[in-house]
Amino acid sequence: MRNGIILNGVQIPIETVPDLVNFLAAQIADVIISKTAASSSAKMPPKLYSAKEIASQLNRSVSTITRHASIGLLRGKKVGKSWLFTEENYHLYKFGKSDIT
């Protein structure tokens, strides 16, 4: 009788078992990494910008940015006395794709 393992009814020689184990371990690691990357990217909170950051990037005053937010030209959320804007809304504003015409 030869040494080895039986896998799905097929006898695998003992000499090839380490290669088989390495192959299966690599396959399992790839699946774990891809699932972890997919789930962690889904949980990432959106990038938020302050009125000061947007004003600086667009070379405008903070009061202009907050006024545009107040009248709806730039969508955002007021948190206390400050405004916060998602990256998506910042880009819509930056490239002139506001809902208000």
Closest CA to 88 of 79, 98, 78, 80: 98
Same domain, 81 and 52: yes
CA dist 75 to 61, 95, 100, Å?
A: 17, 13, 10
Residues 68 and 37 in one domain: no
Predicted TM-score of the model (pTM): 0.54
Q: Are residues 62 and 88 in the same domain?
A: yes
- Domain carrying residue 59: 48-94
Work out the mean pLDDT of the chain and round it to a whole number. 83
Cα–Cα–Cα angle for 34, 39, 41, nearest 5°? 95
Looking at the fold, whether 78 and 54 belong to one and the same domain comes out as yes
> Is residue 55 domain-shared with residue 22, that is, in the same domain?
no
pLDDT in tens, 66-92: 999 999 999 999 888 889 999 999 999
**Is the same domain home to 52 and 88?**
yes
Asked if residue 82 and residue 61 are part of one domain, the reply reads yes
Label residue 40 by pLDDT band (50, 70, 90): low
